[in-house]
Amino acid sequence: VWSMASFRETKIAEIRAQVGTGKVICGLSGGVDSAVAAVLIHEAIGEQLTCVFVDHGLMRLHEAEQVVTLFRDHYNIPLVHVDAEAMFLSGLAGVTDPEAKRKFIGKAFIDLFEAEAKKIGGAKFLAQGTLYPDVIESVSFIGGPSVTIKSHHNVGGLPERMDMALVEPLRELFKDEVRALGRELGLPEVFVGRHPFPGPGLGIRIPGEVTKEACDILRLADAIYLEEIRAAGLYDAIWQAFAVLLPVRTVGVMGDGRTYDRVCALRAVTSVDGMTADIYPFEPAFLSRVATRIVNEVRGINRVVYDYTSKPPGTIEWE
Ligand code: XMP
């Protein structure tokens, strides 16, 4: 009988066989997948693993601190925290094409991982929490769809020439299986139950140009939305919920004045594996509460809309 306990043992043996006495760098994104991959690999090879958390400035509110705390304090796994906000934002300046954003972010990640690999005396392996759906939705080289929908940065976004070999122990798993493995490995429930968050982060939730100002506005709106979702007890019923900041300005009225600010779209879906999704049918009163709070509390947004598109034909993320 296939079980998570035996999967764990098999993977640990495979990881040891693949890396031998080599050093491994594991990129942490703040999401469940990379966290589970890191803990599994740490079990397999201990001190040979170094985790790298690249803060690209495209994280959600307080997310960077949470990741660092979990790994350093809870697990005691060596963690390098790279503050790369300035580098990412300057590289994204003027870039509006979604695939160009994804390619830039993927390449910048790899450059930083390679630099860190050199610093720790030459890591030969890069570990990632790639899942099966990332593999099939991403690129044609693995025999998936002939049309690339998006280059998930941890698959299709990798540069063709990279000095490190990939270690991807979760490549056969779906999200629910990764969560089961995370529980098996003793990860805290709050972490295991987190909604997925894409590697390119807020960079693909700001259609058009990504600026620091737009990220700051979006972080506040997103935090209010999620706070209300948690308060309503809906977090676990939803696969993923997030705000998107549109590059569109509309006219509004506040007090005695005219406003001309940006539009925020709210997304929430249910799904089993991220491959297909249905919209989450909030009560109208819930949505108006969130809309009112966002417009009142976030400067720069004066209108909120709800995305009613299932996947397909929409995708979960907007880019
Ligand atoms: P889409 O937008 O393709 O998203 O329907 C499906 C699921 O994948 C996540 N996603 C990503 N995850 N790197 C990731 O690690 C990426 O580049 C990426 N793009 C999308 C998305 O959040 C959803 O859960």
Residue 55 Cβ inside 6 Å of ligand 1? The answer reads no
The residue nearest atom 20 of ligand 1, judged by CA position, is 198
- Does ligand 1 have an atom closer than 6 angstroms to the CB of 156? no
CA of 128 to the centre of ligand 1 (A): 14
Among 219, 35, 29, 207, residue whose Cα is nearest residue 106:
29
Q: Are residues 220 and 109 in the same domain?
A: no
The string of pLDDT tens digits covering residues 89-142 is 999 999 999 999 999 999 999 999 999 999 999 999 999 999 998 888 764 333
Q: Give bridge partners of residue 243 from the DSSP assignment.
A: 266
* Residue 46 sits in the same domain as residue 161: yes
Q: What is the token pair recorded at 300?
A: 């720069």
Residue 133 has a pLDDT of 87
> Using a 6 Å cutoff on CB, does residue 311 contact ligand 1?
yes
Look at residue 3 and give its three-state secondary structure.
coil
Q: Alpha carbon of 263 to those of 22, 244, 293, 297, 308: distances in Å?
A: 49, 9, 14, 14, 16
Q: Is the pLDDT score of 143 beyond 80?
A: no
Nearest residue to 222 via CA among 261, 259, 195:
195
Q: Is the shortest distance between the CB of 202 and ligand 1 below 6 Å?
A: no
- The verdict on whether residue 29 carries a ligand-binding annotation is yes
The answer to whether residues 135 and 267 belong to one domain is: no
In this structure, are 51 and 133 located in the same domain? yes
Q: What is the pLDDT of residue 144?
A: 39
Name the residue range of residue 147's domain: 4-192
Show which of 133, 163, 192 is a domain's final residue.
192
39 pLDDT above the threshold of 70: yes
> How many independent structural domains does the chain possess?
2
Tell whether 31 is in a known binding site. yes
As a whole number, mean pLDDT of residues 298-309 equals: 98
Question: Are 178 and 222 in the same domain?
Answer: no
Distance separating alpha carbons of residues 230 and 215, to the nearest angstrom: 22
| Residues 160-179, mean pLDDT to the nearest whole number | 90
- Cβ atoms of 203 and 197 closer than 8 Å: no
Which CATH number goes with the domain that contains 59? Answer: 3.40.50.620
Whether residues 170 and 277 share a domain: the answer is no
